Amino acid sequence: MSESYLELTRESHPAGTGELAVVKVTGELDLSNAEELTAAMAREALEAGLIVDLAELSFMDSSGLRVLMLAASDRGARLALVAEPDSPVRRVLDLAGLTDRIATFPARGAAADAVEQAGE
Amino acid sequence: MTETEAESSEIELDLPVEPSSVTIARRAVRELSEQLGAPGEDVALAVSEAVGNAVVHAFRHREAGTISVTAAPRRDMLVVTVADDGTGMIPGAESPGLGVGLSLISQVSNDVRVQSSERGTTVSMSFPLGEQEGAAE
Q: Provide the ipTM.
A: 0.92
Count of A-B CB contacts under 8 Å: 57
Q: What pLDDT, on the 0 to 100 scale, is given for residue B99?
A: 73
Looking at residue B93, what is its pLDDT?
54
Chain A residues whose beta carbon lies within 8 Å of the beta carbon of residue B22: 30-32, 61
Give the integer Cα–Cα distance in Å for B20 and A65: 18
Among B24, B44, B56, beta carbon nearest to A59: B44
Confidence at B62, pLDDT banded by 50, 70, 90:
confident
Q: What is the nearest CA distance from B22 to chain A, expressed in angstroms?
A: 7
Q: Is the pLDDT of residue B57 over 90?
A: no
Strand ranges in A61-119 using DSSP code E only, listed in sequence order: 79-82, 104-105
Q: Is residue A56's pLDDT more than 90?
A: yes
**Prediction pTM value:** 0.90
Residues of B with CB under 8 A from a CB of A: 19-20, 22-24, 26, 41, 44-45, 48-49, 52, 55-56, 97, 100-101, 103-104, 107-108
CB contact under 8 A, A2 and B107: no
Asked if residue B15 has pLDDT above 90, the reply is yes
Cα A78 to Cα A101: distance, rounded to the nearest angstrom: 12
| CA-atom Rg of chain B in angstroms | 14
Rounded Cα distance, B80 and B113, in Å: 11
Q: Do A61 and B41 touch (CB under 8 A)?
A: no
Q: How confident is the model at residue A32 (pLDDT cuts 50, 70, 90)?
A: very high
pLDDT band at B90 (very low <50, low <70, confident <90, very high): low
Nearest CA to B52 among B97, B87, B85? Answer: B97
